[in-house]
Amino acid sequence: MSTYKFFEQVNHNFDLAAPYTRFEKGVLEQIKVCNQVYSITFPIRRDDGTVEVIKGWRAEHSHHKLPTKGGIRYSHLVNEDETKALAALMTYKCAIVDVPFGGAKGGISISPSKYSVTELERITRRYTYELIKKNFIGPAVDVPAPDYGTGAREMAWILDTYRQFSNDLNAEACVTGKPIQQAGVRGRTEATGMGVYLGVREACNDTEDMKALGLKPGLEGKTYIVQGFGNVGYHSAKFMSEHGAILIGVAERDGSVYSEKGIDPDTLLQWMKEKGSILGFPGTVSSKEKYKILEEQCDILIPAALENQINEKNASKIKAKIIAEAANGPTTRDAHDTLKKRGALIIPDVYLNAGGVVVSYFEWLKNLQHVRFGRIEKRFEENSMKNMIDAMEKISKTSFSDQERLNLAQGAGEFELVMSGLEDTMITAYLEINELRKKHTVDLRTASYINSINKVGTIYEQMGIFP
Ligand code: GLU
């Protein structure tokens, strides 16, 4: 374990970047501190009739933009320092991808697997009620989302609870990551993984960087290992493999699987759902040791679980040339330095896992607009394209096949629009941080923080500080 607390580590990364910005000490301090933390304990009745006290937090790191935004985590490891650190990462992440929110994070200190679904529902609803009472939730105030240990089901409970206390027309925008049938947006589930793939693709398209690592540009044929096969790990793998990369190892809670020949993410997910474990997956070597696999030879290592997984104990043994941080804070500061010294390319969390919040932003916009993306224009676009195809056929005196007509005259629906917005965001953000990296001769993490500090600091300089 790292000797530094998680929030200290985030602040250390901030401090490395701050000298490259123009802000005075006070402004820097205001960006760094956590603006508001709500710590709460409440009782719930368990299915066996006993009462248990539950501990939770919600941290709003930065009010430079409202609402604040960030997931809610259910894990026995959750604590106040972690919640504040994750909230700070949300501030920097949102700024990097130009999503107009301050950062926040919530957490409840429970192991979800030890509770029944009805108990989890009671916990979620009570926690939401406590947030409402203290004005820590609302479409214009603070908007939660899924994180480690939570998903669309919990978000639906949050919305339903919020609705009991509010007749706000925009109530649906009080939380994101909801099921599609309950005002969610298509693509939110895949979003973080898709963003990871897009970010890695951008990094691998940099010819100079790849040359320095002794790799060919592009994703094709690159081997990778994923730690954590939850929503983020699985979707990252799915999109990486669909675009030519080869999954050779997966680590999960109870061990790891490895195959030089490659592992199909979908078949592995199916196996995990059926057996409750990845172990024993046909064609792979299974091991109950879950950390050793991170040290295997591969081109890209994708930590997609929790913080501090790459630390001073294993950093010097890790051989991957690229570390793609799909999780929040997976690399400790010392481990970062060790990897950097060895010449590894680290694609930092604050950029790489931002896909989730980008699509959360789209979901929030959809809820405020009260209309599905593409609903108004899809048919119009298709009809215009059909007219154009007819005209082209007339002029060229040839005709397209039915399939060709179908492909050419396809209007964009919600999923396509969401994915296109996400792709554009990830490309633009990479260009920005890559430019800052070259300008200041720093690594991608420091460049990402410089970018965030510049954006957040400019707002604090102009407003919100009373005489
Ligand atoms: N929990 C996710 C994250 O850490 C998503 C946050 C959101 O969508 O608000 O980025």
Task: Give me the CATH number covering residue 64.
Answer: 3.40.50.10860
Q: What is the pLDDT of residues 221-248, one digit of tens each?
A: 999 999 999 999 999 999 999 999 999 9
User: What gap in Å lies between CA 223 and CA 150, rounded to an integer?
Assistant: 30
Looking from the CA of residue 359, the nearest atom of ligand 1 is: 8
Distance 134 CA to ligand 1 centre (A): 22
Q: Is residue 56 part of a domain?
A: yes
What percent of the chain is predicted at pLDDT more than 70? Answer: 99
- Considering 138, 165, 184, which residue would you say is the last residue of a domain? 184
Q: What is the mean pLDDT of residues 79-101?
A: 98
Torsion sign over Cα 329, 337, 241, 202: positive
Same domain, 279 and 292: yes
Looking from the CA of residue 104, the nearest atom of ligand 1 is: 9
User: What gap in Å lies between CA 113 and CA 185, rounded to an integer?
Assistant: 27
Same domain, 39 and 69: yes
Same domain, 361 and 345: yes
Q: What rounded mean pLDDT belongs to the chain?
A: 97
For 125, residues 6+ apart whose C-beta sits below 8 A from its C-beta are 157, 160, 161
Q: Any bridge partners for residue 58, and if so which?
A: 38, 106
Distance 106 CA to ligand 1 centre (A): 10
Q: Is residue 27 part of a domain?
A: no
Same domain, 224 and 369: yes
Q: Is residue 420 part of a domain?
A: yes
Q: For a pocket test of ligand 1, which of 65, 75, 90, 92 has the largest count of ligand atoms closer than 8 A to its C-beta?
A: 90
Q: What is the mean pLDDT of residues 333-346?
A: 97
Distance 225 CA to ligand 1 centre (A): 23
Structure tokens at 279: 């172990």
Looking from the CA of residue 101, the nearest atom of ligand 1 is: 9
DSSP state of 311: -
- Considering 167, 184, 201, which residue would you say is the last residue of a domain? 184
Q: Which amino acid residue places its CA nearest to atom 9 of ligand 1?
A: 70
Looking from the CA of residue 71, the nearest atom of ligand 1 is: 1
Same domain, 275 and 354: yes
Given a cut of 70, is residue 113 above it in pLDDT?
yes
Same domain, 347 and 206: yes
Tell me whether strands 51-60 and 102-108 are parallel, antiparallel or unpaired: antiparallel
Q: Which amino acid residue places its CA nearest to atom 8 of ligand 1?
A: 357
Q: What does the pLDDT read at residue 231?
A: 96
Q: What does the pLDDT read at residue 396?
A: 94
Given a cut of 80, is residue 463 above it in pLDDT?
no
User: What gap in Å lies between CA 354 and CA 358, rounded to an integer?
Assistant: 6
pLDDT tier for residue 462 given thresholds of 50, 70 and 90:
confident
Same domain, 203 and 315: yes
Query: How distant, in Å, are the alpha carbons of 132, 187, 414 from that of 235?
Result: 33, 11, 19
Q: For a pocket test of ligand 1, which of 91, 105, 147 has the largest count of ligand atoms closer than 8 A to its C-beta?
A: 147
Q: Is residue 405 part of a domain?
A: no
CATH number, domain with residue 336: 3.40.50.720
Domain of residue 275, residue span: 185-377+412-443
Same domain, 201 and 157: no
Structure tokens at 257: 């699987």
Q: For a pocket test of ligand 1, which of 357, 361, 367, 418 has the largest count of ligand atoms closer than 8 A to its C-beta?
A: 357
Q: What is the mean pLDDT of residues 17-38?
A: 97
Distance 107 CA to ligand 1 centre (A): 12
Lowest mean pLDDT among 141-145, 440-444, 460-464: 460-464
Q: Is residue 429 part of a domain?
A: yes
Given a cut of 80, is residue 1 above it in pLDDT?
no
Q: What does the pLDDT read at residue 56?
A: 98
User: What gap in Å lies between CA 17 and CA 122, rounded to an integer?
Assistant: 43
Cβ–Cβ under 8 Å, residues 179 and 150 = no
Given a cut of 80, is residue 167 above it in pLDDT?
yes
Torsion sign over Cα 403, 409, 412, 413: negative
Looking from the CA of residue 72, the nearest atom of ligand 1 is: 1
pLDDT tier for residue 2 given thresholds of 50, 70 and 90:
low
Structure tokens at 259: 């195959």
Q: Is residue 137 part of a domain?
A: yes
Phi, psi of 203 (to 5 degrees): -65, -40
Same domain, 159 and 225: no
Q: Is residue 51 part of a domain?
A: yes
Q: What does the pLDDT read at residue 7?
A: 97
DSSP state of 281: -
pLDDT tier for residue 21 given thresholds of 50, 70 and 90:
very high
Q: For a pocket test of ligand 1, which of 360, 366, 426 has the largest count of ligand atoms closer than 8 A to its C-beta?
A: 360
Among 276, 305, 278, 290, smallest CA distance to 148 is for 305
Q: What does the pLDDT read at residue 340?
A: 97
Domain count for the chain, please give it: 2
Distance 223 CA to ligand 1 centre (A): 27
Distance 356 CA to ligand 1 centre (A): 5
Residues serving a catalytic function are: 105
Q: What is the mean pLDDT of residues 154-177?
A: 97
User: What gap in Å lies between CA 345 and CA 339, rounded to an integer?
Assistant: 8
Q: What does the pLDDT read at residue 464?
A: 63
Q: Is residue 5 part of a domain?
A: no
Neighbours of 33 (CB within 10 A): 12
pTM: 0.96
Q: What does the pLDDT read at residue 4?
A: 83
Q: Which residues line ligand 1 (CB under 6 A)?
A: 69-71, 145, 147, 176, 328, 353, 356-357, 360
Looking from the CA of residue 146, the nearest atom of ligand 1 is: 1
Same domain, 281 and 318: yes
Same domain, 230 and 97: no
Torsion sign over Cα 94, 102, 231, 314: positive
Cβ–Cβ under 8 Å, residues 364 and 139 = yes
Distance 72 CA to ligand 1 centre (A): 8
Same domain, 218 and 171: no
